[in-house]
Amino acid sequence: MTIAITGASGYTGRVLIPMLAAAGHSLRLLIHSGIPPTDAQLIKGDLLNEDSVAELVREADVVIHMAAVISIQDRPDEQTLKVNITGTRLLLEAARRAGVQRFIHLSSVTAFEQAPYGERLDESRVPVAAARHNYDYSKAVSQAAALEYNSKGLEVIVLAPTARIGPFDYKPSLIGTAVIDICNRRIPALPPGGVDFVDVRDVAGAVAAALNKGVPGNVYLLSGQWVSFRTLSTDIDRITGKKGVIPVLPPWLIFAALPLVKGWARLTGSTPYYTRQAVYNLLYSNRRIDSGRAKTDLHFQPRPFEETLKDTIAWFRQNGMLSL
């Protein structure tokens, strides 16, 4: 099978690419930065370049679309909306014209309204409707665009994972950075709240399964287990043998410190350690995300969080990222 892929150098891509290559698929990757070692055909360009997108999908059987700009910034971010929405539409149209059979779109649980937070969230939950949160809104709109093309000659499958965690986190990701900082005691206090964590290897496995499983036109939530940051820190300490409790700051203090965080970032030319949007994502995340549909149709089986966390810490240690 010939598979055209965007986002190959991202977190999920670095796990998925070796998996697909080992299965004998022919891979075509749209790139503008480094990728894992692979025998894949490389197409230089980006999602907003119509020529490179057309070249990517030429003679492809399946498109796997994982590329996106991830943003937790409080200010409007035109680039996030442009890449995530316009780029997805350009890719969908190019795939349709090229006669691609199946289009697998990687969305996010944040494309869905999280409230009511204590009630079960499944694929019937309404999508985010307002542009107040650029990333969430961009994923909701791009997901809807993908589903529209299911009736235009493409078989479209949408996968919406929760917060990905696990080994092979080279960059590392925001969650991976939090794990490293807790392990290395580089974080003086923890944020309140938590998120649903899913192993990146299980997400990659679901993407691979969607090559020939799943019902076209369906969205599949990929969830694991909701864990508070207090519990995450406690579990890390138990695994690593660290002692000493990291305090959890109350929400009012987190928000009160935002001007200082932003001011320090401006002075140092760095990215703010957290934003108002990032804190909202932790305080108001749904705790009952249901991946039952994916378990039935894609045979998705998320591994226990304990196993994921142990493997993550072991991988960071093997790659010299932990001072243990």
Segment among 18-32, 39-53, 123-137, 150-164 with least mean pLDDT? 123-137
178 located within any domain:
no
Confidence of residue 81 (pLDDT cuts 50, 70, 90): confident
Structural domain contains residue 179: no
Kindly tell me if the per-residue pLDDT of 246 is higher than 70.
yes
> Of how many residues is the chain composed?
324
Please report the pLDDT score of residue 273 as a whole number. 60
Cα–Cα distance measured from residue 212 to residue 220, given in angstroms and rounded to the nearest whole number: 14
Confidence of residue 35 (pLDDT cuts 50, 70, 90): low
Q: Determine, yes or no, domain membership for 146.
A: yes
Total-model pTM: 0.93
Q: Is 132 part of any domain?
A: yes
Q: If you average pLDDT over residues 303-308, what whole number do you get?
A: 97
Q: Give a yes or no: residue 172 inside a domain.
A: no
Q: At 290, is the pLDDT very low, low, confident or very high (cuts 50, 70, 90)? A: very high
Q: What is the pLDDT of residue 293?
A: 98
Nearest to 48 by CA among 81, 97, 96: 81
Give the tens place of pLDDT for each residue, 159-218. 999 999 999 999 898 899 889 989 998 888 888 889 999 999 999 999 999 999 999 999
Of the ranges 36-50, 263-277, 299-313, the best mean pLDDT one: 299-313
Question: Domain span at residue 96?
Answer: 2-165+197-225+287-303
**pLDDT value at residue 272:** 65
Residue 297 within any structural domain of the chain: yes
In-domain check, residue 102 = yes
Residue 14: name the closest of 24, 113, 31 by CA: 31
Q: What's the CATH code of the domain at 84? A: 3.40.50.720
Whether 206 maps to a domain, the answer reads: yes
% of the chain surpassing 70 pLDDT: 92
Query: pLDDT category, 153, cuts 50, 70, 90?
Result: confident
How many distinct structural domains can be found in the chain?
A: 1
Mean pLDDT of the chain: 90
